[in-house]
Amino acid sequence: MGNRASASHLSASSGDKTQATGGSTLYELADLHGGGKIIDQFRLIYQSDDPLTQSNFNQFLRNTIKPFLYNDGHGKLVPVSTLVEERENYRLGGVRKTKRKLLQYKKYYSMTQIIKDQHDIDPGSLEHDEHGNPCRLVCWDIARRGSVGENIVHLCLLLNNPFHTDLARRIIAVFPKLAMDIYLGDEYYGEGPLHMAIVNRDFFLAKFLIDLNAPVNEIACGKFFFPEDQKMKRVSNTNYEYVTVADDETDYEGFAYYGEYPLAFAACLEEMDICKLLIRHGAYINAKDANGNSVAHLTVIRNLPEMFDFALEHGADIYAKNNRGYNCLTLAAKMGNKEMVKHILELERKPYWTFGEVSCAAYPLSSLDTIDTESGLEGSIDRKSVLNIVVTSDNPRHLDLLDGLIVEILEQKWALFARKKFYQHLITYIVYLIIFNAAFILRPPFQPDPGTSHCVARNDTRRDYFLCPRVANGASKVIDSKDIGRLILELLTAGGSLGYLGSLIIDFNRQGFHIVFQSLVNAPTRFLFLLSCALVTISIPGLFICALTRGFRLVGPFVLMIGKMIKGDLLKFMLLYLIFLIAFSQAMVVSFAGTGGSRMFLNSPLRAIEGMFILSLGEFEEIEPEFDKAPHPIFVKILFVFYVVIANVLLVNMLIAMMGKTYETTVETRKEWKRQWAQTVLVIETSIKPKQRLQYQEKYSEALGDGHDGRAVVMRWQHDEIEKKRDHKRKIRKLNELADLLYKKDLEKRKNNKIANTIRNAINKGKTKPPTSNLESIRGKNLEMKNKRADILATVTNPGMILQATTRAGGSRPVSPQQNENTDNDASHQIVNPEEE
């Protein structure tokens, strides 16, 4: 890629191998092994300080590199369509096809709309020809590039050492247009020297490139910079350089998924100084990549709270949504990142009061609660909300999010409406189940007609078991008092089934198919129960009683644990057990072949399976005497011993061990029960009318006020150690910013005093008149600095710490942590240490 050091732990991709073994004439000048004509020559004069030697080397660079450049290094405009076709040729390994069609994106919206929505930022390197077609300024000849579309500057920066970096700087100084050249191969398309300087963490090289007008909004959209599960889903279009994805579904996991833009690269690599440099030179902090992720989204994906704060302070829109409809908060919830979810909620909350280590604040419900109040469909279910994402997911990481604020909201819903409706469902279902079972229990025993055969096929349906068909056929003469009770119970059962199905149809009309379907997915036993309502002759309704136990803390975890054992442990055991059972039973059939039949095994494979199953249950008394009837009884007994050891001892004990391990995860099961309980609350919530949801939300929340729309839930909490340390670091950062501002004020004051003294001395000597405009400017600046100082003092909770900070700094300018890492230590330049504080 553009930086081998950052990907040294990865296996080489196809692009890396091609780049290393390519046969381009570029590699005669420089290659990845540190050789080449230019590198060899630069190595000879690297330590020389002779101006003439340096001048001769610059001339050597001009003479050697100029044949590889367009217009003697001034570059030329190349149509974007040509570059895209060239990129596709690189993707095919250099095979050119003149009539090959590029894939077109046809999923949800047109490519034009995607480009307009997500790539509306001018990268600074695109221009237009006389026909209005987009073109890119290209300096290095396309036909004389490396195997993945690189030039000599890319090769030097790829090696990432001081020697080759100095050479790259020298080449760019001679040919400044090379600062704008990018990789043209599909693997790393769009990566320029600025991207590589950021990945190399070279602040001074980045500043050098920006001073030479390197575009700060250049897009690196090569395959290497996409999530791993999207690399084969990229789609090109000849009208645009940008690459889109045919499927937005992704987990955002990628070794070099840095967000395409230089600012996003710097944020993902935590290069705050480079971020500040890029923003000062026009980098757009809300620019989105092909997945619709901005810098703020990427800091959430990379779990970088400090860089998220930096982006927020510099104007990042944390409420903007990516292609999948997630903002920063919901994206953190989707990825199961508890730290970022908590961090964003802390930034969004509105504090009311703090008493010691106890605080009270209001948390906005936007994007947090399942009840939507912003999309125009007020009262509808927000499937992209944090609460819905956490509760409906089966990812174990989301279990850790079921605490604090989320549980507080669920408990409020449970107390207001979910508990009441849950018990209503429970009582209604118990009554329905009693009637259902009573209707079947009161069925008369089977009595065949005298004139018919007593041999009845097992699969015949006895329609006279049910009373309703008999009444319909006019058989009223056989009805007695017991049948009247049956008739009532059957009618109640049918009515109850129709009532449940009718409520499902109402939910479909009220909520829509997707929401109701999701609620059925979260409660599969409810789906089975509704199915049983349509097929009341099948006794599936009894399974639904297990779903109702999810609302009880006492038995809920154990029901879930038994379900886990059945779906996991017992399923594995049965698979292995059936394999051994079938194998040994057929061996027994072969062993008893030719004996004329045995009472237990005979010559039937099915009877043999039945017999071996009885053996595995420990019933040996009736079967063991049959072993002596086999042609080789000793062999049969040995086979029997092996079967008992494997089936009875090994497999059964393995099943017990697996179940024991499952039982030991009771703590995790209790967390899982909490999620099942939460799903029950949300399932009940979907059955409520939207207007009623809004009414309930007004009861467990309050208006934000102070000109803010929306509602919030008020919560009190006690500060933990992590929150204390984070608050302390924020105070220290504010103190350092204040001290830095005071230092700048002092410098400005000294400068103004020097100018005033110069003017005063000149007036005293009678050489000039006082420049009133300068004096007024000085007074205005002093007043402005005083106002800024007052504003910062108002934001610091403990102004007494300012004196301590300035005293430790010795009256000198304190440096930021980033500056402290990149500069020499100086006794006069100290910073307030959070540990000392």
User: Residue 487 has what pLDDT?
Assistant: 61
DSSP 3-state percent helix, strand, coil across the chain (nearest 5): 60, 5, 35
pLDDT band at 230; cut points 50, 70, 90: confident
Q: Assess whether 739 and 650 both reside in one domain.
A: no
Q: Assess whether 659 and 736 both reside in one domain.
A: no
User: Residue 804 has what pLDDT?
Assistant: 40
User: Residue 473 has what pLDDT?
Assistant: 43
User: Residue 756 has what pLDDT?
Assistant: 75
Of residues 22 and 650, which shows the higher confidence score? 650
pLDDT band at 599; cut points 50, 70, 90: low
Q: Assess whether 191 and 109 both reside in one domain.
A: yes
Cα gap 533→63, rounded to integer Å: 87
425 assigned to some structural domain: no
pLDDT at 418 over 50: yes
Of residues 318 and 475, which shows the higher confidence score? 318
Q: What are phi and psi of 512, to 5 degrees?
A: 100, 160
Kind and range of the H or E run holding 501: helix 481-511
Cα gap 505→503, rounded to integer Å: 5
Question: Which residues make beta-bridge pairs with 240?
Answer: 237
Residues 60-80 have pLDDT tens digits of 999 999 999 999 888 888 888
Residues 4-40 have pLDDT tens digits of 434 333 334 445 545 544 556 888 888 888 788 888 8
pLDDT band at 784; cut points 50, 70, 90: low
User: Residue 636 has what pLDDT?
Assistant: 78
Residues 693-719 have pLDDT tens digits of 888 888 888 887 766 778 888 888 777
User: Residue 710 has what pLDDT?
Assistant: 80
19 assigned to some structural domain: yes
Q: Assess whether 659 and 735 both reside in one domain.
A: no
Q: Assess whether 657 and 727 both reside in one domain.
A: no
Choose one of 196, 225, 253: the last residue of a domain.
253
User: Residue 277 has what pLDDT?
Assistant: 93
Choose one of 253, 285, 319: the last residue of a domain.
253
Q: Calculate mean pLDDT across residues 421-434.
A: 83
pLDDT band at 788; cut points 50, 70, 90: low
Residue-wise DSSP of 43-78:
HHHTT---HHHHHHHHHHHHHHHGGGBGGGGT-EEE
Mean pLDDT is lowest, of 390-399, 673-682, 803-812, for 803-812
User: Residue 548 has what pLDDT?
Assistant: 54
828 assigned to some structural domain: no
Q: Which residues contact 182 (CB under 8 A, 6 or more apart)?
A: 125, 189, 190, 191, 192, 218, 220
pLDDT at 55 over 80: yes
Q: Assess whether 764 and 640 both reside in one domain.
A: no
Pairing mode of beta strands 702-705, 708-718: antiparallel
478 assigned to some structural domain: no
User: Residue 285 has what pLDDT?
Assistant: 92
47 assigned to some structural domain: yes
pLDDT band at 472; cut points 50, 70, 90: very low
User: Residue 807 has what pLDDT?
Assistant: 35
User: Residue 423 has what pLDDT?
Assistant: 86
pLDDT band at 650; cut points 50, 70, 90: confident
pLDDT at 477 over 50: no
Return mean pLDDT, the chain: 74
Choose one of 618, 649, 664: the last residue of a domain.
664
- 410 in Cβ contact with 370 (< 8 Å): no
pLDDT band at 692; cut points 50, 70, 90: confident
% of the chain beyond a pLDDT of 90: 17
Q: What are phi and psi of 181, to 5 degrees?
A: -75, 145
User: Residue 460 has what pLDDT?
Assistant: 46
Mean pLDDT is lowest, of 191-195, 391-395, 777-781, for 777-781
- 193 in Cβ contact with 150 (< 8 Å): no
Q: Assess whether 649 and 728 both reside in one domain.
A: no
pLDDT band at 452; cut points 50, 70, 90: very low
Q: Write the CA distances from 695 to 18, 40, 414, 623, 712, integer angstroms.
A: 64, 78, 14, 71, 14
Q: Assess whether 73 and 201 both reside in one domain.
A: yes
Q: For residue 382, what is the DSSP state?
A: -
Q: Calculate mean pLDDT across residues 665-690.
A: 77
**CATH number of the domain encompassing residue 609:** 1.10.287
Q: Assess whether 214 and 101 both reside in one domain.
A: yes
Q: Calculate mean pLDDT across residues 132-146.
A: 87
Residues 581-594 have pLDDT tens digits of 888 877 777 777 66
pLDDT at 559 over 80: no
Residues 245-278 have pLDDT tens digits of 877 788 898 888 998 899 999 999 999 999 999 9
368 assigned to some structural domain: no
297 assigned to some structural domain: no
pLDDT at 720 over 80: no
Q: What are phi and psi of 126, to 5 degrees?
A: -105, 140
Cα gap 32→10, rounded to integer Å: 17
Encoded tokens for 818 = 């980033």
Q: Assess whether 652 and 753 both reside in one domain.
A: no
Q: Assess whether 734 and 657 both reside in one domain.
A: no
pLDDT at 195 over 90: yes
User: Residue 718 has what pLDDT?
Assistant: 73
User: Residue 797 has what pLDDT?
Assistant: 42
- 233 in Cβ contact with 246 (< 8 Å): yes
Residue-wise DSSP of 732-775:
HHHHHHHHHHHHHHHHHHHHHHHHHHHHHHHHHTTSS---HHHH
User: Residue 31 has what pLDDT?
Assistant: 84
Q: Assess whether 178 and 103 both reside in one domain.
A: yes
User: Residue 115 has what pLDDT?
Assistant: 39
Domain that holds residue 221: 5-253
Cα gap 799→809, rounded to integer Å: 16
Instruction: Determine whether 45 is exposed, middle or buried from the number of CB atoms within 10 Å of its CB (0-12, 13-18, 19+).
Output: middle
pLDDT band at 175; cut points 50, 70, 90: very high
Cα gap 615→627, rounded to integer Å: 13
Q: Calculate mean pLDDT across residues 157-182.
A: 91
What Rg do the C-alpha atoms of the chain give, in angstroms?
38
- 713 in Cβ contact with 362 (< 8 Å): yes
pLDDT at 237 over 80: no
340 assigned to some structural domain: no
% of the chain beyond a pLDDT of 70: 65
User: Residue 403 has what pLDDT?
Assistant: 83
- Count structural domains, the chain: 3
pLDDT at 466 over 50: no
